[in-house]
Structure 1
Amino acid sequence: MTDRTPWQHRRQSATARGYGAEHKRLRKILLAAEPLCRECRKKGRITAATIADHIIPLSRGGKTELANYQPLCRECSDKKTLTDQGKRYRPRIAPDGWPIE
């Protein structure tokens, strides 16, 4: 027998994590007003934003208010999340060996 406990790392519901009705309402407003990824635009790229990202994460005291949101594409959001967690972002690599940005 091992003294390991069964896997219980079930993720809380979106509402329990702070992404309830208010988040959905603000996301809709944000993406209607600013439909392109803010980070991609800084780099001269045009990419549709699909995520309403908290500039200051809720886990670090960020608020659920429009001023604390920015529109991001999935890749930019993933990169920011890893950076916020102190991890290194590793870009995806294309079959030709060059990074996909």
Structure 2
Amino acid sequence: MPARPSSPCRAKLCRNLTREKHGYCEDHADLAKAWTRGRAGRGRGGRPWRRLRAQVLQRDRYLCQPCQRKARAKPATAVDHIVPEAEGGPTVASNLEAICEPCHTAKTLDEARRARERAT
């Protein structure tokens, strides 16, 4: 079988050529591991997540739980972790709740702020 033609390395600003299937030169081969992993094993995407998401939405009657705690009724458009994965929360139904887009955005911004504070 003929050798694969050389192509530029996929790493930014790298000018090396490679024949590897993953597209990285020897200097950047460690980046290929992240490339091949993708989202696998992170608990989101795919049929299992869609089933769990549908189960949580049905359990919460398609209503935003944070809004319900404030005595408001709003339709939920997403499912979010109660305890974030970054803080050790598992992806199980008991740690998920239905949430509307404005609440999800506010919660995500708050989690990002807390993460920045922990990093400093």
TM class by shorter chain equals 0.5 to 0.7
| Gap runs ≥5 in structure 1 | 7-11, 88-101
In the alignment, structure 1 residue 29 sits paired with structure 2 residue 29 = no
1:52 matches 2:79: yes
Q: Deviations over 1:41-91 (max 9, x none)?
A: 12221110111101112222221110110110011011111111117xxxx
From the two aligned structures, give the one with the greater helix fraction.
2
Cα distance in 2 for partners of 1:45, 1:63 equals 28
Q: 1:63 is paired with a residue of what secondary structure?
A: coil
Higher relative contact order (CA closer than 8 Å, sequence separation 6+): 1
Match of 2:109 in 1: 82
Query: What letter is aligned with 1:30?
Result: V
Q: CA deviation at 1:15?
A: 5.2
Q: Normalising to structure 1: TM-score of the pair?
A: 0.65
Q: What is the RMSD of the two structures over their aligned residues, measured on CA atoms?
A: 2.2
Q: Which residue among 13, 19, 23 is the counterpart of 2:44?
A: 19
Please say if residues 18 and 58 of structure 1, whose CA atoms lie closer than 8 Å, have aligned partners that are also in contact: no
Give the TM-score, by structure 2 length.
0.56
Q: % of aligned pairs identical?
A: 35
Q: Structure 2: 5+ residue runs without aligned partners?
A: 1-11, 14-36, 115-120
Q: Which SS does the other structure have where 1:86 is aligned?
A: helix
